[in-house]
Homo-oligomer: A and B are copies of this chain.
Amino acid sequence: MAKVFGHIEGHPVGSQYQRRRELHDAGVHAPLMAGIHGNSHEGADSIVVSGGYGDDEDHGSVIIYTGHGGQEKGRQVSDQDINHPGNAGLVRSELEGNLVRVIRGAGGDPDHSPASGFRYDGLFRVESHHSKIGVHGYRIWQFRLITADVPEEEDVTPFHGDMADEPAARRSVTVQRVVRKSAVTQLVKQLHKGTCQMCSQVLMVPGDSYYSEGAHIQAVGYPYNSPDVPENVLCLCPNCHVLFDYGARYLTDDLRIIDGITHHEIGKLRTHHKHKIEPRFVQHHRARWVSAD
């Protein structure tokens, strides 16, 4: 079924439904069984949050939502796969800034869920995703969803030729990729003279300056809160930074670079004798994307 992003006409936030069939008929959440409506090509447009995963967290405007798979009779019995269409759909929605309809069911967190049936609780954006070993001992994928409190007319901009020349900010749902800069990342970049430690590129721009990014190995954002020290920072070009942050690149303890999709070695990290990398950060990053050693 085609994905339809944004609110569904006639179904305002707060609408109540007794059964999944009604959500299906309304187009608020199309599948009758699956919790996620999505695939890697189009993204995910809606999810149902109704408990059932011991690792879910519902804080109202922030939801830690466990992805699909690996369950039998309500228990986690195997690892989840990030390439499952539902999970991949949430990754795609994160990368595209798609807003996801959140429907809460009666089985969820009692503070935030309806007493019975289902309730449409509005649009959320997927801020980030990560993987961890869940309470049942298997790898799960989790998506951090944040309420997207934007006026309805901004949710979807149709693709046609007659768009007025309005400033961009008025009609787009804006999502940001954040690249942090600090004195620590600056010093790491200076040691490497802006050379990417993975692909050896130096991006030069007018003004006789290189552009490179300080990439934290153990992520500084939620939920890791890692230290901003040189031992936890790599000097990377923006492309390798994106690939590293989304698990398409990871490192072995002896700093070989592994492709996160094929798991083949593709090179060795450039190093500098004044810039030590601490294995615990490399291990932490790796544990998010592949089985722990």
Interface residues of A (CB under 8 A from B): 40, 82-83, 87-88, 91-92, 95-98, 156-159, 163-169, 171-187, 189, 201, 203-211, 213, 216, 220, 225-230, 237-239, 241-243, 246-248, 260-261, 289
The 8 Å CB contact of A179, one of B40, B177, B211, B261, is B177
User: Can you sample 9 A-B contacts with CB below 8 Å?
Assistant: A83-B206, A97-B182, A166-B227, A167-B226, A168-B220, A171-B228, A173-B182, A174-B182, A237-B239
Determine whether the beta carbon of A243 is less than 8 Å from that of B203: yes
Determine whether the beta carbon of A40 is less than 8 Å from that of B168: no
Determine whether the beta carbon of A182 is less than 8 Å from that of B168: yes
Contact A208 to B40, CB < 8 A, known contacts A159-B230, A239-B237, A239-B238: yes
Determine whether the beta carbon of B168 is less than 8 Å from that of A206: no
Across the interface, which residues of B come within 8 angstroms of A207, CB to CB?
40, 82-83, 87-88, 91-92, 246
Across the interface, which residues of B come within 8 angstroms of A182, CB to CB?
97, 157, 168, 171-174
Determine whether the beta carbon of B173 is less than 8 Å from that of A159: no
Determine whether the beta carbon of B247 is less than 8 Å from that of A206: yes
Determine whether the beta carbon of B184 is less than 8 Å from that of A180: no
Determine whether the beta carbon of B211 is less than 8 Å from that of A95: yes
A98 to B182 alpha-carbon distance, docked (Å)? 8
- Give the copy number: 2
Contact A226 to B168, CB < 8 A, known contacts A209-B91, A211-B242, A238-B238: yes
Determine whether the beta carbon of B92 is less than 8 Å from that of A209: yes
Closest to A83 in B: B208
Contact A173 to B168, CB < 8 A, known contacts A186-B96, A238-B239, A239-B238: no
A158 to B177 alpha-carbon distance, docked (Å)? 27
Across the interface, which residues of B come within 8 angstroms of A241, CB to CB?
238
Additional A-B contacts beyond A171-B184, A206-B248, A211-B243 (14; CB < 8 A): A40-B207, A95-B210, A97-B186, A167-B228, A168-B216, A168-B226, A172-B180, A172-B184, A172-B185, A172-B228, A173-B182, A176-B178, A205-B242, A238-B238
Across the interface, which residues of B come within 8 angstroms of A175, CB to CB?
180-181
The 8 Å CB contact of A242, one of B157, B159, B238, is B238
A208 to B81 alpha-carbon distance, docked (Å)? 11
The 8 Å CB contact of A88, one of B173, B177, B186, B208, is B208
Determine whether the beta carbon of A183 is less than 8 Å from that of B172: yes
Determine whether the beta carbon of B206 is less than 8 Å from that of A260: yes
Across the interface, which residues of B come within 8 angstroms of A203, CB to CB?
239, 242-243, 248
Determine whether the beta carbon of A246 is less than 8 Å from that of B206: yes
Q: Ordered nearest first, which 10 A-B pairs have the shortest CB separation?
A: A172-B182, A91-B207, A168-B228, A238-B238, A97-B181, A157-B183, A40-B208, A205-B246, A168-B220, A165-B227
A208 to B220 alpha-carbon distance, docked (Å)? 25
Closest to A181 in B: B97
